[in-house]
Amino acid sequence: MRIREPRKNLAPVGSRSLRGGSFPPRRWGRGSYDRRRRSAEVITGGTLDAYLESRGSASAGLLALTKERVTLGRATEADVSLNSDTTASRLHSCLERYPGGWVLRDLGSTNGTFLNGERVVGDRPVQSGDEIRIGTSLFVFRAVEAGGFEQATVRGEAPPAITRREREILVQLCRPLVDQSVAFGQPATVAEIAGRLFIGQATVKFHLGNLFDKFGLLDTGAGRRVALANEALRRGAVTLAELRLPAGGGAS
DSSP string, 202-235: HHHHHHHHHHHHHTT----STTHHHHHHHHHHHT
How many whole angstroms separate alpha carbon 111 and alpha carbon 128? 24
Percent of the chain scoring above 90 in pLDDT: 38
| Cα 102 from Cα 109, distance rounded (Å) | 20
- Percent of the chain scored above 70 by pLDDT? 67
CA dihedral (96, 144, 148, 206) in degrees, to 10, reads -110
CA–CA separation, 24 vs 237, rounded Å? 32
Query: Would you give the DSSP letter of residue 245?
Result: S
Find the Cα–Cα–Cα–Cα dihedral 116, 104, 146, 151, rounded to 10°.
-20
Provide the residue-wise pLDDT of the chain in tens; the chain has 252 residues: 444 444 444 444 344 444 345 555 444 443 333 333 332 223 233 345 788 888 765 456 788 888 899 999 999 999 888 888 899 999 999 999 998 889 999 999 999 999 999 999 999 999 998 999 998 889 999 887 555 555 443 445 788 999 999 999 999 998 887 776 655 667 899 999 999 999 999 999 999 999 999 999 887 676 888 889 888 887 888 877 777 776 654 443
Instruction: State residue 223's pLDDT score.
Output: 80
Q: What is the pTM of this model?
A: 0.56
Exposed (0-12), middle (13-18) or buried (19+): which is 9, by Cβ within 10 Å? exposed
pLDDT at position 182: 58
Contact 217, 158 (CB under 8 A): no
Torsion of CA 178, 131, 45, 122, to 10 degrees: 110
Hey, how many other C-beta atoms are within 10 angstroms of the C-beta on 42?
21
- The pLDDT of residue 204 is 94
Q: Which of 101, 100, 81 is nearest to 91 (CA)?
A: 81
Q: Helix %, strand %, coil % for the chain, to 5?
A: 20, 20, 55
